[in-house]
Structure 1
Amino acid sequence: MEVLRPPLININGRIYRKNPVQEETYEEEEEDYSYSEAAVDQCLDEPCDAHNIEQTDRGFRCALDVPSVLYKYIIGKKGETRRRLESETKTSINIPKQGVEGQIVVTGAHRPSVSSAVTRIEVLIDSFRRKQPFTHFLSFALNHAQVREGFLRFREEVLEHCSQDSGVDVSIFQNPDKLHLTIGTLVLLNQQEVTRANELLHQCQDTIREITGAEALPVEVRGVEYMNDDPSMVDVLYAKVSVQDGSDRLQQISDRLVECFVSAGLMERERDRVKIHATVMNTLFRRDPSAEDREAPARANPRDREAFNGKNILQMFRDFYFGAFELNSVQISQRFSTDSSGYYSSAGHITFS
């Protein structure tokens, strides 16, 4: 079936077929940026006009916008990757100095050679980009005064009634100033990519306003739920968020945003629909208070977290009312940042009304 329906990868909004080739692994802990022939041979059957290749007096040229933090993956250990790419494609690859934002320029005597080199570079960059930690995320801020007060009351009552339960302590509660819904995560590695994401978000504004009727969305935060199968071994406890009129408009907005960013190649789809939830307790916070809501606890090393017994919390606070307010914006939040209000710094936002 992989021959009939091969996996697809999205690179800069272009879709490539990923041929069934055994890939080599990279030992990241040894900083191995070596060339993987299997990895770059996966997409070489694509048409040569997929790239913006210019004809010059000396042949052909194509410039690629690549964040400087990814140059090392094209250069490789002691320049091995670049030399091998140049040798196999009969091209020349010019890379700016490390730390200098610019363009990687590929030149060659023949258009197919330049196209082949560019495709290989893009596949390598995509492979290593997927291994970078996310830098930004689309979010709905939930730190409205009423919800924040409700959360503080929730924290106080949980600690009063359930602090004797295994793993329950104040360190695993969310920062009340940073209560939010995560729509999806982004890897934006330079200002150009941040600008592109912001422009894309603004392109979504009219679609979002069609869903909301160009008005703020009245939502309420009520009840708690957990993410795994065993309530006695919980890593993430979240509050449920819904539109007060019972509609699925919040879900529609979230799904549309993800669809837009995935189509543009700026986000990876993690599930068919966005899971609408707001983290209120997370065992990642036990060791790192600045840890972000990753949504999928399985991503973290089990050794880095200690689960808590959530049975009593789920029974006593299942329908706990945190508060209600009018949600009127979505923003690109910068990870590990704080603005003047205590929320995440914004790299761009749009409003519903």
Structure 2
Amino acid sequence: MDVLRPALININGRIYRKNAVKEERYEDEEEEAFSYSGPDRDQRMDEPCDADNIEQTDKGFRCAIEVPSVLYKYIIGKKGETRRRLEAETKTTISIPKPGVEGPIVITGSQKAAVASAVTRVEVLIESFRRKQPFTHFLSFALNHPQIQEGFKRFKEDVLDHCSQDMGVDASIFQNQAKLHLTIGTLALLNEQEVMRASELLTQCQDFIRDITEGKPLALEVKGLEYMNDDPSMVDVLYAKVCVQDGSDKLQQIADRLVECFVAAALMVKEWDRVKLHATVMNTLFRNDPSVEDKGGAGRPSMKDREAFDARNILERFKEFNFGKCQLDSVQLSQRFSSDCTGYYSSAGRATFI
């Protein structure tokens, strides 16, 4: 079925097919084979590529592609094999900055079609390996308001008082109360330019956000618990439910529209039809690494080294636990593995509801 339905990659509105082939792996680098879902390889030199950025020079044609430096190695390949193969097959020269130096990859050739073909193949490689990078930022609704933090503190104390004898339940798997949040979606922003671009896009989203909120903060209530798997005796993550007090779906509308905008800008990969709005309160990933953040809607966390806990007693006693109410007035572009002066994640951008 992988052959009949190969993975597709969308680059600037054009669809490319990723072939299902065995990957070559060496050290910490990887190399894959890709093909464009259009003409065969021997026809690519004449394919209608995006040529707006290809400029004519005295020696032929040239195109510069902005690529984060952490992705250079995937274009170079082991001992330069990938770059040499691309250059040989497209009859172009591919110049890549030194490791760690931010700058464009420059492709030159005597024929415009050759440069266009090389650009296409480099972009497909970049897009594929970009998806394998760990996320660096995420859009979040902060729930670290004083009342919610106090409610969470009571919840943690009560659970440990009544349920600490249950399998896997201990203080290490509770969320940091200063970092309580709702994750909207995750982003892999690989240099400062990409962080700035994401921040600017979030600012642009203020218009539709304020239309939805009518220029007012949203009154939220955090109440009740839920889990995602089928067996309450073997739970990895326990969530708190969050709802708008007036019963509207305004929070859901904002989250879904934000994902649409960031996906359209190729800054985020859409994983679900709708954002799953829930706040992590207990997560077994915290057991070995308290700094691990919940990935929310960006995919399943690794099951490696997980130790599930028995949540049956917790769910029976605290199913409708009320963590409190708060006024939500912004969405943030939060930086992973960071803290500001309040203990919440450092912000790289913000859009306000007011």
Give the corresponding residue for 2:262.
261
CA distance in 1, matches of 2:184, 2:54: 36
SS of alignment partner, residue 280 of structure 1: strand
Q: What is the identity, as a one-letter code, of the residue corresponding to 2:34?
A: A
CA-CA distance at 1:78 after TM superposition = 0.9
1:157 maps to 2:158: yes
Give the corresponding residue for 1:23.
21
Give the corresponding residue for 1:101.
102
CA distance in 1, matches of 2:38, 2:296: 31
SS of alignment partner, residue 13 of structure 2: strand
SS of alignment partner, residue 302 of structure 1: coil
Give the corresponding residue for 1:39.
34
Give the corresponding residue for 2:220.
219
CA distance in 1, matches of 2:29, 2:136: 22
Q: What is the identity, as a one-letter code, of the residue corresponding to 2:150?
A: E
Conserved in 2, the CA contact under 8 Å of 1:133 and 1:187?
A: yes
Question: Within 5 A, what are the aligned runs for 1:160-239?
Answer: 160-239=161-240
Give the corresponding residue for 1:292.
293
Give per-residue Cα distances to partners, 1:190-232, cap 9 Å, x unaligned.
0000001011111111011111001111111011111111100
Conserved in 1, the CA contact under 8 Å of 2:23 and 2:30?
A: no
CA-CA distance at 1:31 after TM superposition = 2.4
Give the corresponding residue for 1:48.
49
Percent identity between matched residues is 68
CA-CA distance at 1:181 after TM superposition = 0.3
CA-CA distance at 1:303 after TM superposition = 3.5
Check 1:232–1:6 CA distance in 2 against 1; reply closer, same or farther (3 A cut): closer
CA-CA distance at 1:10 after TM superposition = 2.6
CA distance in 1, matches of 2:201, 2:134: 21
SS of alignment partner, residue 348 of structure 2: strand
Q: What is the identity, as a one-letter code, of the residue corresponding to 1:21?
A: N
Give per-residue Cα distances to partners, 1:65-100, cap 9 Å, x unaligned.
111111111111111111111111111111111001
Give the corresponding residue for 1:337.
338
Unaligned 5+ residue runs, structure 2? none
Unaligned 5+ residue runs, structure 1? none
Question: Within 5 A, what are the aligned runs for 1:238-249?
Answer: 238-249=239-250
CA-CA distance at 1:41 after TM superposition = 4.5
CA-CA distance at 1:8 after TM superposition = 3.8
Give per-residue Cα distances to partners, 1:214-261, cap 9 Å, x unaligned.
111111101111111110000000100110000000000000000000
CA-CA distance at 1:108 after TM superposition = 1.0
CA distance in 1, matches of 2:18, 2:102: 34
Conserved in 1, the CA contact under 8 Å of 2:8 and 2:18?
A: no
SS of alignment partner, residue 239 of structure 1: strand
Give the corresponding residue for 2:66.
65
Check 1:98–1:106 CA distance in 2 against 1; reply closer, same or farther (3 A cut): same
Give per-residue Cα distances to partners, 1:86-137, cap 9 Å, x unaligned.
1111111111110011111111111111111111111111111111110100
Give per-residue Cα distances to partners, 1:138-157, cap 9 Å, x unaligned.
00100000000000000000
Check 1:242–1:74 CA distance in 2 against 1; reply closer, same or farther (3 A cut): same
Runs of 4+ with deviation above 6 angstroms? 1-6, 43-46
Query: What's the TM-score once normalised by structure 1's chain length?
Result: 0.93
Check 1:249–1:50 CA distance in 2 against 1; reply closer, same or farther (3 A cut): farther
Query: What's the TM-score once normalised by structure 2's chain length?
Result: 0.93
Which has the higher mean CA deviation after the structures are superposed, 337-346 or 45-54?
A: 45-54
Conserved in 2, the CA contact under 8 Å of 1:235 and 1:297?
A: no
SS of alignment partner, residue 17 of structure 1: strand
Supply the RMSD in Å over aligned alpha carbons: 2.1
CA-CA distance at 1:21 after TM superposition = 3.3
Check 1:222–1:127 CA distance in 2 against 1; reply closer, same or farther (3 A cut): same
CA distance in 1, matches of 2:309, 2:18: 42
Check 1:3–1:286 CA distance in 2 against 1; reply closer, same or farther (3 A cut): closer
CA distance in 2, matches of 1:205, 1:39: 38
Which has the higher mean CA deviation after the structures are superposed, 273-282 or 110-119?
A: 110-119
Q: What is the identity, as a one-letter code, of the residue corresponding to 2:318?
A: F
Q: What is the identity, as a one-letter code, of the residue corresponding to 2:275?
A: V
CA distance in 1, matches of 2:88, 2:304: 45
Which has the higher mean CA deviation after the structures are superposed, 121-130 or 19-28?
A: 19-28
